[in-house]
Chain A
Amino acid sequence: EAQVTQNPRYLITVTGKKLTVTCSQNMNHEYMSWYRQDPGLGLRQIYYSMNVEVTDKGDVPEGYKVSRKEKRNFPLILESPSPNQTSLYFCASSLSPGQGGYGYTFGSGTRLTVV
């Protein structure tokens, strides 16, 4: 089944403790992206990647890191989480124009609480 898999689904952590949220897709998509969703603010882009070893900042990159060492994986790293990073996070992937389209597939989300 074609899908984007995020882990974990729920995470409670303490301020300053490094964490990684994993994202993996099995559709050979070139484009992958991370979003956070907050009440009243909607979805906002954190980072995106056009292909392996190609990443760039979105609208709210502060406090986050990403890497794209393999095409299927795009982990989101919070090196020193703070309470303002408490949010619902989504990973998504998409075909590139060269692959035939622009459709997006979203992961199931990760609800992160930083105390």
Chain B
Amino acid sequence: AQSVSQHNHHVILSEAASLELGCNYSYGGTVNLFWYVQYPGQHLQLLLKYFSGDPLVKGIKGFEAEFIKSKFSFNLRKPSVQWSDTAEYFCAAGGGADGLTFGKGTHLIIQP
């Protein structure tokens, strides 16, 4: 069965700290990978996606993620976080007729 694991459920960082959120997936065949962000009171927004090609993917708002096939990982990174990055972050895999399988999310709090 397909699954996505996010290892950190709650992360607290200070502004300007570097961020890395872990994501591992279990998925048969070719996999599409996504990171979504949900700011307080808002809907899910796509941060970045990986379909194929360069395993280092750049997204919006300075976020990037690296697809490491051998580790079944797709970790999200940002070199310097801001208070406005406080949000819930979801990793997801799949697409097409099977829809996306989401992780449980990481609640990120940035302290000013």
A binds B: no
A residues near B, CB below 8 A? none
